[in-house]
Chain A
Amino acid sequence: DIQMTQSPASLSASLEEIVTITCQASQDIGNYLSWYQQKPGKSPQLLIHSATSLADGVPSRFSGSRSGTQYSLKINRLQVEDTGIYYCLQHYSAPLTFGSGTKLEIK
């Protein structure tokens, strides 16, 4: 199975700050990487797919990038509504595997 190592586990940042979350894949997964945001009691919401493509309706302050087998989610100008848990997902091969999650809080 492909392992996705996500960091950091938690993050506290100020409004308007820039934050970055990373996922390291245990092998090549190409651009088959998505990012999700999950709020308490809600289902995950797609933010980024294909490593760098913004999902429909997602604010442009979210962006994704790739360097080899390392993938990053960047949030520019952090807003209050960005609190939640963020997960990466590799969908290159079955079984699909998620990162362990990053809990983002506002200071």
Chain B
Amino acid sequence: EVKLQQSGDELVRPGASVKMSCKASGYTFTDYAMHWVKQSPGQGLEWIGTIIPLIDTTSYNQKFKGKATLTADKSSNTAYMELSRLTSEDSAVYYCARGDYSSYILDYWGQGVMVTVSS
């Protein structure tokens, strides 16, 4: 069974950084890309970017360049996203989602991490 287990919810101060994880199981981690998606409160979905763990290649939505950094650890089948210089605009739920290399179909999603930026 494919499963993406994300780390717990975070409460962080403005200006700080946060790093969240997405542990994959039930499939070969390097056979797929990992995507990250933002959902602001009561809002729709925004694609942040993707990482191909096999070759450590990333692609970002221009809107999130400088904000998000995607990494992956093949030894632990875990993808990470770090968000920096947090503001209230970064308060949202963040999802990881598995994606096929060629078609980018996002077929399995993690349960989401709620990040709250507050002093």
Binding site for B on A (CB under 8 A): 32, 34, 42-46, 49-50, 55, 87, 89, 91, 94-101
Determine if A89 and B44 form an interchain contact, defined as CB atoms under 8 angstroms apart.
no
Determine if B47 and A46 form an interchain contact, defined as CB atoms under 8 angstroms apart.
no
Q: How large is the interface on B (under 10, 10 to 19, 20 to 34, 35 or more residues)?
A: 20 to 34
- Complex Cα distance, B103 from A95, in Å, reads 13
- Complex Cα distance, B105 from A25, in Å, reads 17
- Chain A contact residues, majority secondary structure: loop
Determine if B107 and A91 form an interchain contact, defined as CB atoms under 8 angstroms apart.
no
Determine if A96 and B109 form an interchain contact, defined as CB atoms under 8 angstroms apart.
no
Q: Which residue of B lies closest to A46 (CB)?
A: B107
- Complex Cα distance, B61 from A100, in Å, reads 17
- Complex Cα distance, B108 from A34, in Å, reads 13
Given the known inter-chain contacts A32-B103, A46-B107, please indicate yes or no for A94 contacting B46, CB distance below 8 A.
no
A-side contacts of B106, CB under 8 Å:
34, 46, 89, 91
Determine if B47 and A96 form an interchain contact, defined as CB atoms under 8 angstroms apart.
yes
Other contacts beyond A34-B105, A89-B45, A96-B104: 8, CB < 8 A? A43-B95, A43-B109, A44-B45, A49-B103, A50-B103, A50-B105, A95-B47, A97-B47
Please list the 10 inter-chain residue pairs (A to B) with the smallest Cβ-Cβ separation, ordered nearest first: A91-B104, A95-B61, A43-B109, A96-B47, A98-B45, A49-B105, A101-B44, A100-B44, A46-B107, A95-B47
